[in-house]
Amino acid sequence: MGVKPLEHTAERPMHLGRRSVLATLVGAQSPFEVRQALWGYAFLAPWLLGLVFFVAGPMLACLALSFTEYDILSPARWIGIDNYSRAFTDDELFWPSLLRTFYYSFITVPPGIVGSLLLALLLNQGLRGTNGFRTLFFLPHLTPAVAMATLWVWLMNPQIGPLNYALGFLGWPRDFPWLTSPKTVIPSLAIMSLWSGLGGNNMLIFLASLQGVPQELHEVASIDGAGPWSRFRYVTLPMISPAMFFNLVLGIINALQVFTQAWVATDGGPFYASWFFALHIYQQSFSYFRMGYGSALAWVFAVIVMALTIANVRLSDRWVYYGGAV
């Protein structure tokens, strides 16, 4: 009467079960969607492997090493939280280097954001030659960090530097200690950073955000009697606040990671005046081969950066405007 063989009826539910499990894993409803999802994961696999082996893996290894005494030459020895205790209580360079890093960030991030915004406003006027000026503003950002630091070391040379020569031409003393005095070295490094960063990615992000502000809002504000400053304050700034928040977060993170300028230009001097936290991590890990202690410092630094980022995100609700948000 058309009864199917027992082995055929036993295999069919198993086959459907395998397909349903696979479809559930990839979130698909049909065999075609399953194939599409599998191809998507196949193309995503190189990035996932890179994330696991070159990002997540080293981070977990660094976390494990932070609880050990490890100098590369001998096996790691478990010491618990001694590295962290040493950092907070016994390391004479820990707190000063952290404070110098915050000071450098404080004098570079606000001027960097304001300067990038002003350049973007200038380029957004639609004046003649805007494309050429945009290229000129962006070129310093393309300069390699080591080459940029080497160039500024020559420019700021106390004896033969063009900057001191220009100061003498203006009637000021020609022996200004740009990179040779503890009082002026960090502002001098900040000048280097601002020179290469003002016309970089921040400026382009601000420019794209300004071009996305609806012109109708400015027209309505003008009809209501708002002047240029009022339109900028009450129309432009709220509309570009997401871009400002994005640049602020990235600017703080990049400033806290300052390393190359100090390493090339001053090597942390004079008298540890430019010994930043990232340089402290590098010296402990790769100059003194204290890999365990350097890993602990790196994780302390990571926690600080994450805490500041979370705080910025929480505070952003008070001043960042997202169009269409309820």
DSSP state, 3? P
288 with 190, same domain: the answer is yes
In the predicted structure, residue 288 carries a pLDDT above the cut 90: yes
Give the pLDDT mean for 291-310: 96
111 with 246, same domain: the answer is yes
- Number of domains present in the structure of the chain: 2
Q: Report percent pLDDT > 70 for the chain.
A: 90
Q: What is the pLDDT of residue 27?
A: 63
60 with 175, same domain: the answer is no
**pLDDT classification of 26: cutoffs 50, 70, 90:** low
pTM: 0.86
Q: What is the pLDDT of residue 20?
A: 55
Give the pLDDT mean for 188-199: 94
3-state secondary structure at position 312:
helix
| Structure confidence by residue, pLDDT tens digits, 87-105 | 999 999 999 999 999 999 9
**pLDDT classification of 175: cutoffs 50, 70, 90:** confident
**Structural domain for 88, as ranges:** 84-316
In the predicted structure, residue 111 carries a pLDDT above the cut 70: yes
Residue 293 lies in a domain: yes
152 with 253, same domain: the answer is yes
194 with 142, same domain: the answer is yes
In the predicted structure, residue 17 carries a pLDDT above the cut 80: no
CA 62/CA 200 separation, integer angstroms? 32
Q: How many CB atoms lie within 10 A of CB 141?
A: 17
Q: How many CB atoms lie within 10 A of CB 117?
A: 24
Contact 286, 295 (CB under 8 A): no
Q: Which domain-ending residue is among 37, 65, 93?
A: 65
Give the pLDDT mean for 229-240: 93
- The distance between the two most distant Cα atoms of the chain, rounded to a whole number of Å, is 113
CATH number, residue 264: 1.10.3720.10
Contact 259, 279 (CB under 8 A): yes
48 with 142, same domain: the answer is no
156 with 250, same domain: the answer is yes
Residue 199 lies in a domain: yes
302 with 177, same domain: the answer is yes
93 with 157, same domain: the answer is yes
199 with 59, same domain: the answer is no
Give the pLDDT mean for 285-292: 94
